[in-house]
């Protein structure tokens, strides 16, 4: 398990803490975990501290951007693979966040475009996983979602990632991708 940067919601103490599997699962799912706080002297709620957003670097590499596209809806994956031109994007798809994590362990990508609502390990969990294990990728995520719920809108404000709503608006989505790479 990685050391996660956490902040006690009660006293504001920030620490790197190593979590047990169960605690890490809770943190990924909820963005918060209940663990003891030495300063508060009891178990409190700790929030994952998200890494600061890195300014996008000017794109130096020539050729298509490596783009990891994550959506549990195969139609969305297929449509985007057709719409995103191969001269500009080398698209690799994943039908789940778990599959995306496997892909990220074997290959580098310039941009990650991810759905938010997915069964199991969702886009929010994926983002928190990246914050703990692959923080350099947190500045490379664009969310693509049809979910306008308050929970999702709050998450988008907190993570400060570029996003675009479904139905897919290709021009807007490409602008968000190009903000990153
Ligand atoms: Zn505390």
Mean pLDDT, 10 residues at a time, the chain of 181 residues: 89 93 92 96 96 78 92 97 95 97 95 96 96 93 97 94 97 95 88
Looking at the fold, whether 40 and 75 belong to one and the same domain comes out as: no
Distance 83 CA to ligand 1 centre (A): 49
Looking at the fold, whether 103 and 142 belong to one and the same domain comes out as: yes
Distance 32 CA to ligand 1 centre (A): 13
Distance 133 CA to ligand 1 centre (A): 24
Distance 17 CA to ligand 1 centre (A): 13
Q: What is the pTM of this model?
A: 0.93
Distance 42 CA to ligand 1 centre (A): 8
Looking at the fold, whether 107 and 137 belong to one and the same domain comes out as: yes
Q: What is residue 52's predicted lDDT score, i.e. its pLDDT?
A: 84
Task: Please report whether residue 89 resides in a domain.
Answer: yes
Task: Please report whether residue 57 resides in a domain.
Answer: no
Distance 51 CA to ligand 1 centre (A): 20
Confirm if 168 and 76 have CB atoms less than 8 A apart.
yes
Distance 44 CA to ligand 1 centre (A): 6
Neighbour order of strands in the sheet with 42-48: 14-18, 3-8, 42-48, 32-37
Looking at the fold, whether 101 and 44 belong to one and the same domain comes out as: no
Looking at the fold, whether 107 and 163 belong to one and the same domain comes out as: yes
Confirm if 129 and 114 have CB atoms less than 8 A apart.
no
The tally of domains found in the chain comes to: 2
Task: Please report whether residue 99 resides in a domain.
Answer: yes
Looking at the fold, whether 162 and 131 belong to one and the same domain comes out as: yes
Distance 6 CA to ligand 1 centre (A): 11
Looking at the fold, whether 40 and 71 belong to one and the same domain comes out as: no
Looking at the fold, whether 79 and 157 belong to one and the same domain comes out as: yes
Looking at the fold, whether 73 and 9 belong to one and the same domain comes out as: no
Looking at the fold, whether 159 and 74 belong to one and the same domain comes out as: yes
Task: Please report whether residue 55 resides in a domain.
Answer: no
Task: Please report whether residue 43 resides in a domain.
Answer: yes
CATH number for the domain including 69? 3.40.50.2300
Task: Please report whether residue 153 resides in a domain.
Answer: yes
Task: Please report whether residue 58 resides in a domain.
Answer: no
Distance 45 CA to ligand 1 centre (A): 8
Task: Please report whether residue 90 resides in a domain.
Answer: yes
* Structural domain that includes position 20: 3-48
Distance 132 CA to ligand 1 centre (A): 21
């Amino acid at each position: 398990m990685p050391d996660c940067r956490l902040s006690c919601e009660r006293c504001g103490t920030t620490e790197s803490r190593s979590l047990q599997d169960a605690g890490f699962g809770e943190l990924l799912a909820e963005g918060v975990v209940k663990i003891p706080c030495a300063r508060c002297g009891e178990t409190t709620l700790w929030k994952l501290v998200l890494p600061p957003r890195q300014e996008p670097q000017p794109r130096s590499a020539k050729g298509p951007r490596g783009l990891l596209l994550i959506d549990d809806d195969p139609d969305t994956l297929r449509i985007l693979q057709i719409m995103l031109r191969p001269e500009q994007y080398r698209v690799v798809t994943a039908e789940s966040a778990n599959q995306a994590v496997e892909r990220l362990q074997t290959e580098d990508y310039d941009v990650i475009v991810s759905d938010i609502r997915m069964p199991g390990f969702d886009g929010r969990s994926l983002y928190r996983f990246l914050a703990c294990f692959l923080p350099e990728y947190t500045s490379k995520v664009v969310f693509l979602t049809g979910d306008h719920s308050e929970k999702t809108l709050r998450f988008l404000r907190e993570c400060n990632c570029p996003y675009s709503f479904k139905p897919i608006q290709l021009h807007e989505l490409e602008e968000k991708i190009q903000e990153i790479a």
